[in-house]
Amino acid sequence: MRTLSETPTRHDQHGLYPEAISVEDFRRNLAAVQARMDSACQRVGRDQASVRLLPVSKTKPEASLRLAYAAGCRMLGENKVQEGHGKWESMQDLADLRWSVIGHLQTNKAKLMARFASEFQALDSLRVAEALDRHMQAEGRSLDVFVQVNTSGEASKYGLNPEDVPAFIRQLPTFSALRVRGLMTLALFSAEAGRVRQCFALLRNLRDQLRQDAPTGMELEALSMGMSGDFEIAIEEGATVVRVGQALFGARALPDSYYWPTASHSNMQAPS
Ligand SMILES: *Cc1c(COP(=O)(O)O)cnc(C)c1O
């Protein structure tokens, strides 16, 4: 039997996933990702229903998002607000399609986001929380939010330092339109599975610690962690949401540095 510490990353596939160009492609990719999720759950005795797959459609054209919808996707993740808003506008006919913003938000974009997002996974400042709360109230809507935590210690990554999260969380009940669901992180982008796992374990431990004195009424259950190259490790460490782009949609043409301003991916070590 293999032990958990042997579960590898799949960063060697990064940039190589074939483009999904038909509903069948999406169905097949969804089934394959789901099967990988299920076996990760099985390895640690978790219920498969306790992990949600969030398909990430950034950079992909509307036509391919429509194929994903036809294959059953009802929530899509976008990293950039303007891109997400544009797609939402042109896909109004799909009334039950919901949107999650998973990338850093500038305060001046909060109003745009309040128009279309149901979920925001990258909250890391009170100024943004205040702006979002105000605009969501104006729209008469509420927003599920995840607090982004920097678990890799990379200076350039977005997210709060773990030690700053408890005080930050205590401020959030003031914002009545924001429903705090849990924490989100991007692990170190590395082929060293052990170091990736440490990032996920840190987020889970932080969540467990925060839950003990969470403000009343705050759930703090969710852990959004893991993407195409590392979601199995994330699930083994307790992820309740995995954000998967390439493994469903195919590789992206734009470099990741466009989305993760930090990540030159200098930590990436090609498995030999
Ligand atoms: C793009 C992105 C993902 C998905 O990455 P893939 O490698 O395409 O699975 C996950 N989380 C965030 C914040 C992203 O920007």
What tokens were used for 139?
């729209």
**Ligand 1 centroid, distance to 209 Cα (angstroms):** 27
140 strand-pairing partners: none
Sequence letter at residue 108: N
* CA atoms of 156 and 168, how far apart (whole Å): 20
Nearest residue CA, atom 8 of ligand 1?
Answer: 245
Nearest CA to ligand 1 atom 11: 243
Q: What domains lie within the chain, and their CATH numbers?
A: 19-250 (3.20.20.10)
Tell me what the mean pLDDT of segment 6-11 comes to: 90
For the CA atoms of 203, 204, 208, 211, the dihedral, rounded to the nearest 10 degrees, stands at 60
Instruction: Tell me how far apart the alpha carbons of residues 104 and 135 are, in angstroms, rounded to a whole number.
Output: 17
Pocket test for ligand 1, best of 36, 54, 56 (most atoms within 8 A of CB): 56
Judge contact between 201 and 161, C-beta under 8 A.
no
Cα 164 to ligand 1 centre (Å): 24
Distance of alpha carbon 121 from alpha carbon 170, whole angstroms: 18
pLDDT digits (tens, 9 = 90+) for 205-259: 999 999 988 888 888 999 999 999 999 999 999 999 999 999 999 999 877 776 6
Instruction: Look up the pTM and report it.
Output: 0.93
For the sheet with 52-55, list strands across it: 52-55, 241-244, 222-224, 178-184, 143-148, 119-123, 98-101, 75-78
Identify the bridge partners of residue 243 per DSSP, sorted by sequence position: 54
Question: Going by CA atoms, what residue is nearest to atom 15 of ligand 1?
Answer: 79
Longest Cα–Cα distance of the chain, Å, equals 55
| pLDDT tens digits along 49-71 | 999 999 999 999 999 999 999 99
